[in-house]
A = this chain, B = another copy of it.
Amino acid sequence: MARPRSFDPDDVLDVAREVFWRKGFQATSLDEITAASGIGKPSLYAAFGDKDALFLRVLDRYHDGILGWAERTLAQPGSARDAIQQWLMGFIPYCSGEKGQRGCFSIKSASDGSLHQVEVRKSIERYNRRLEELIRARLRADRAQFKKGFDPDISAHTIMVVHTGLMALAHQLPDPKQVKAVIDQVMALLA
């Protein structure tokens, strides 16, 4: 029928994510993305719409990736405590050392001028809500394993706060051991 696309949209989204992640929404020019991805601006526009829409696609994709992994990890058999601890520890490589330096793309986006977009705000809100929901659901399901007076809702939020704090402090290249120590300490609250 017609000329086919010369690129894989997902590849371009991955490239765009790298650039947006490194420089932020506002500071990223479309020229940088076209240069990094190798496709031209008209193709970019035809495939994803304008800069705002492209960014939203990239951000949603990022969120979906993390949520998918969280769903799998938090659904594992065994105790809720172990599942949550393993989930938290999975972030250690992403919030410590060199690799963690760029921090969390979602937090970065929440703090960037990109928040002028209502859609971006909503995407981040959905992401945070869904993440906390997953933790809460798991804690509620295994409620019997905890001692009397345990409040799964508050605990879920605390876990969420700690997780966010760890990711937000990733810029400082903390020692993985230090992150582990914090997780261990907080896990003591789940007893």
**When the two chains form the complex, which single residue of B26, B158, B166, B168 contacts A26, counting CB atoms closer than 8 Å?**
B26
**A111 interface residue per 8 A CB criterion:** yes
C-alpha gap A108/B32 in the complex (Å): 23
In the complex the two chains form, is B113's CB within 8 Å of A111's CB? no
Whole-angstrom distance between the alpha carbons of A30 and B134 in the complex? 43
Residues in B with CB closer than 8 Å to A151 are 181
Q: Cβ of A110 and Cβ of B171 under 8 Å apart?
A: yes
Tally of chain A residues near chain B (CB < 8 A): 42
- A36 adjacent to chain B (CB < 8 Å): no
Contact pick for A113, options B26, B182, B186, CB 8 Å: B26
* Cβ 8 A contact of A24, one of B23, B112, B121: B112
Asked whether A169 lies within 8 Å of B178 as measured between CB atoms, the reply is: no
B169 lies within 8 A of A160 (CB): yes
Known A111-B112, A154-B182: A166·B171 in contact at CB below 8 Å: no
CA distance A4 to B116 in the complex (A): 39
Q: Which residues of A contact B (CB under 8 A)?
A: 23-24, 26-27, 103, 107-113, 115-116, 121, 124-125, 128, 151, 154-155, 157-158, 160-169, 171-172, 178, 181-182, 185-186, 188-189
25 contacts between A and B (CB under 8 A): A24-B26, A24-B113, A26-B26, A108-B111, A110-B171, A111-B112, A112-B112, A112-B113, A115-B171, A128-B169, A154-B178, A154-B182, A158-B185, A160-B165, A160-B169, A161-B182, A162-B165, A163-B165, A164-B168, A164-B169, A165-B166, A168-B168, A186-B189, A188-B189, A189-B189
